[in-house]
């Protein structure tokens, strides 16, 4: 029996509400319920019977279950080739917690070690109903023979029908190329921050992009260990906690004071970050930077997700003039971070170009630029709010 809350503010309409914690079930279950209403004169009446279906949500590997939640592929960080599962004795360990949306109290937990199993898959027993959302947090620990042991974290990821499956590439660094750096992050008050994700984005020069190669999480001392290439590689580092960007640190080159003694430290402080380096689009969980150079006629769109998830990001640009429209470029990238490059040919002239950003196929950002003129967000601006309302309202 449950007692209900009565709302008579819309009199003569009376609304009765009740919140019930549904117990865990091992199979789909139908529960019958009715309302008993006691009137002021002491008499009572019962409503007709209603049924509530409680579905069993299970998570396991994909040997039996078929609704893919995660597809984890372990690759060599340098050449990005898939590591042979048996040849290199690959290991991918997964620890997942699923909680009600807006809560951190997990209702489903799953842990498993995938030994010599690459790619590794995690599945659900049912497709997530379109009306439901959950919070997902996950720790992924991975390694292989002659490779470093590294971490990748999901934090406050919104699990819903449209956000899965998650295709995650796990980049592992060859041991002889790897140096362990202890990263410490402090906020603007010089206080260490616990449970913050340190998103390590490595530059791949020949591809003109950055890719997320590791996401460790800070401990109670605000520290995390990252596996970096010393001196020779450029990194962008984002610090994120529960979807909130705490700091961005661009063009970081890792230098170790003493490799022999292991004195390899990177100290990050929110006061030293690049506060204007990114635009946060919280409605779609994306941190992004839009830039156009009128001299080189190159448009760059750099992005990172705030929860470690992978998204399909597309940049579409179209010339618009009195003669109609002409496609300029259409480039896509599926990743948790990266840079999409669009080259505007000289044949386009200095005409107006419509630039659209699509996330998982949905239009979320739109802007207008003039091909021969420097981009100025103050002049053109993002038509963000309207597009978000149209796309997600």
- Do 109 and 27 share a structural domain? no
Q: Residue 381: what pLDDT? A: 42
Pairwise pLDDT comparison (122 vs 35), residue with the higher score: 122
**Residues 124 and 163 reside in one and the same domain:** yes
259 and 312: one domain? no
Q: Give yes or no: residues 284 and 221 share one domain.
A: no
pLDDT(391) > 60: no
Single out the residue in 222, 240, 272 at which a domain terminates. 272
Pair (122, 267) in one structural domain: yes
Q: Is the pLDDT of residue 324 over 90?
A: no
- What span, in angstroms and rounded, lies between the C-alpha atoms of 76 and 97? 28
Q: Domain of 348?
A: 279-392
- Structurally, the chain folds into a number of domains equal to 3
**22 has pLDDT over 80:** no
Same domain for 102 and 195: yes
- Between 359 and 154, name the one with better pLDDT: 154
| Pair type for strands 91-100 and 179-186 | unpaired
Confidence of residue 374 (pLDDT cuts 50, 70, 90): low
Q: How far is CA 221 from CA 10, 45, 231, 263, 349, in A?
A: 52, 60, 26, 17, 55
pLDDT digits (tens, 9 = 90+) for 126-166: 999 888 899 999 999 999 999 999 999 999 999 999 899 99
- Same domain for 333 and 364, yes or no, is yes
Question: Of the given ranges (143-152, 193-202, 312-321), which has the lowest mean pLDDT?
Answer: 312-321
- Indicate whether 319 pLDDT > 90: no
**pLDDT score recorded for residue 382:** 43
**258, 251 contact by CB (below 8 A):** no
Q: What average pLDDT does the chain have?
A: 84
Among the candidates 272, 292, 319, a domain finishes at 272
64 and 47, same domain (yes or no): no
Whether 392 has a pLDDT exceeding 50, the answer reads: no
What is the mean predicted confidence (pLDDT) over 279-291?
Answer: 68
pLDDT recorded at residue 212: 93
Nearest to 152, CA basis, from 138, 136, 131: 138
pLDDT digits (tens, 9 = 90+) for 62-110: 998 999 999 999 999 999 999 999 999 999 999 999 998 888 999 899 9
- Mark whether 212 and 263 lie in a shared domain: yes
Lowest mean pLDDT: which of 100-104, 112-116, 318-322, 331-335? 318-322
pLDDT above 90 as % of the chain: 43
99 and 200 both lie in a single domain: yes
pLDDT for residue 385: 35
């Amino acid at each position: 029996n449950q007692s209900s809350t009565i709302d008579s503010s819309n009199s003569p309409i009376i609304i009765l509400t009740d919140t019930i914690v549904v117990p865990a079930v091992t199979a789909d279950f139908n529960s019958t319920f009715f309302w008993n209403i006691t009137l002021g004169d002491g008499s009572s009446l019962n409503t007709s019977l209603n049924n509530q279906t409680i579905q069993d949500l299970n998570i396991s590997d994909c040997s039996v279950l078929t609704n893919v939640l995660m597809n984890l592929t372990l690759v060599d960080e340098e050449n990005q080739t898939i590591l042979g599962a048996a040849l290199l004795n690959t290991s991918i360990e997964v620890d997942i917690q699923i909680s009600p949306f807006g809560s951190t109290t997990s209702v489903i937990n799953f842990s498993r070690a995938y030994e010599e199993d690459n790619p590794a898959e995690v599945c659900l027993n049912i497709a997530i109903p379109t009306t439901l959302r959950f919070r997902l947090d996950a720790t992924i620990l991975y390694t292989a023979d002659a490779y470093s042991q590294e971490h990748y974290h999901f934090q406050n990821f919104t699990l819903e029908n449209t956000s899965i499956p998650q295709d995650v590439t796990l980049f592992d660094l060859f041991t002889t190329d790897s140096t362990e750096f202890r990263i410490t992050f402090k906020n603007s008050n010089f206080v260490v921050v616990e449970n913050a994700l340190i998103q390590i984005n490595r530059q791949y020069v020949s591809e003109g992009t950055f890719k997320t190669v590791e996401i460790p999480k800070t401990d109670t001392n605000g520290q995390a260990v990252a596996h970096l290439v010393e001196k020779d590689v450029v990194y962008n580092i984002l610090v994120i906690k529960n979807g909130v960007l705490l700091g961005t640190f661009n063009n970081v080159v890792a230098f170790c004071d003493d490799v022999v003694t292991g004195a390899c430290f990177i100290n990050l402080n929110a006061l030293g970050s690049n506060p204007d380096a990114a635009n946060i689009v919280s409605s779609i969980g994306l941190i992004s930077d839009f830039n156009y150079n009128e001299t080189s006629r190159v448009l760059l769109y750099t992005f990172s997700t705030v929860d470690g998830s992978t998204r399909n990001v597309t940049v579409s640009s179209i010339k618009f003039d009195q003669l109609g429209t002409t496609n300029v470029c259409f480039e896509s990238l599926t990743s948790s971070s990266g840079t999409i490059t669009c080259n505007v040919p000289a044949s386009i002239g200095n005409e107006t170009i419509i630039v659209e950003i699509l996330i998982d196929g949905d239009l979320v950002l739109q802007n207008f630029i003039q091909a021969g003129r420097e981009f100025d967000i103050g002049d053109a601006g993002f038509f963000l709010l309207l597009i978000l309302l149209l796309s997600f309202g």
